[in-house]
Amino acid sequence: MSAPATVLELRDVTYRRERKEILHGITFTVRQGEHWALLGPNGSGKSTILGFCGAVTHPTSGTVHVLGKQLGRVELQALRRMIGHVNPRHPLTSPLTIRDIVLTGITGTIETPLRWQPHAEELARVDALLAALGLLGKAEERWPTLSQGERGRTLIARALVCGPRLLLLDEPSTGLDVAAREHLLETIDLLDETHPEITSVLVTHHLEELPSTTTHAVLLSEGRVVAAGPADTVITTENVSTAFDLPIEVNRHDGRWTARARRTPARLSS
């Protein structure tokens, strides 16, 4: 059996901003059907790397291949149409319904384009997706009235509606309470059944926000890779403590991770 197709490949990537190098020799490979997490403290380079994955940012040196195309040698708009992006800071200002928001994933816009009308097949596709994600009964509810959890699931549906090969999730649990977070993670886990061919990359700095279907991880610190590969070998007490520069105890139970700072014995006074 042949190996799954390569979806993302970063080779010795550096990135400079205002003459300061903020990424140093990043290398890892993501294959079809894998679910990766980009982990690390604030400022470690996660968002910049996600920009490469989304064909938004170009490296200063090294090479980035996305869906078999090298950045700098491909028409970006065509490539981006094969990538779904979930951003909890979605800049919507109009009170669109859930159904209309998902339809904007077809047009690639934030608002509904003037004089644009979806075809019957597109409406059917949207409703099938809403049903799969438990939103069909709320399809006519409007963005301002939605809970944060409902907004998260709506944005996942929007990202999936065009059948992308790659799904990017940029801190999707931002702003959610515990119940909403758990519901959202259940939705992400469900994609392993409803969209088994899709590859995903999720950014977070909280281990508790990792779906149980996470297969691989890149752990970052100060723009460098601490470890990259299968999740169980990367997300360890030793590696996480190194990345966050703090003794952190990592555990996994029922497919989910937890992290807790280790207590250090108080020094005895002389």
Same domain, yes or no: 171 and 264: yes
Instruction: Give the domain range for residue 106.
Output: 91-163
Please check the confidence at residue 191 and state whether its pLDDT lies above 50: yes
Please check the confidence at residue 7 and state whether its pLDDT lies above 50: yes
Same domain, yes or no: 75 and 23: yes
Same domain, yes or no: 239 and 189: yes
Tens digits of residue pLDDT in 33-70:
999 999 999 999 999 999 999 999 899 999 999 999 99
Quick one: pLDDT band at residue 270, thresholds 50, 70, 90?
very low
Same domain, yes or no: 36 and 135: no
> Of 163, 198, 219, which closes a domain?
163
3-state secondary structure of 243: helix
The fraction of the chain above a pLDDT of 90, given in percent, is 77
Same domain, yes or no: 68 and 186: yes
Please check the confidence at residue 265 and state whether its pLDDT lies above 90: no
Please check the confidence at residue 131 and state whether its pLDDT lies above 90: yes
Same domain, yes or no: 203 and 221: yes
User: Rounded CA gap, 4 and 228, in Å?
Assistant: 18
Same domain, yes or no: 32 and 9: yes
Same domain, yes or no: 260 and 234: yes
Please check the confidence at residue 121 and state whether its pLDDT lies above 90: yes
Strand ranges in the chain using DSSP code E only, listed in sequence order: 6-17, 20-31, 35-39, 61-66, 69-70, 83-86, 166-170, 199-204, 216-221, 224-230, 248-253, 256-261
Same domain, yes or no: 183 and 195: yes
Q: Which residue has the tokens 């968002």?
A: 47
Same domain, yes or no: 22 and 73: yes
| CB-count exposure of residue 270 (10 Å: 0-12, 13-18, 19+) | exposed
Query: Domain with 17 in it: what CATH number?
Result: 3.40.50.300
Quick one: pLDDT band at residue 268, thresholds 50, 70, 90?
very low
Same domain, yes or no: 170 and 74: yes
User: Rounded CA gap, 102 and 107, in Å?
Assistant: 10
In DSSP terms, 218 is beta-bridged to: 38, 228
> Of 163, 197, 220, which closes a domain?
163
Asked if 155 and 175 count as a contact pair (C-beta separation under 8 A), the reply is no
Please check the confidence at residue 266 and state whether its pLDDT lies above 70: no
Please check the confidence at residue 198 and state whether its pLDDT lies above 70: yes
Q: Which of 3-7, 10-14, 102-106, 136-140 has the lowest mean pLDDT?
A: 3-7
Number of domains in the chain: 2
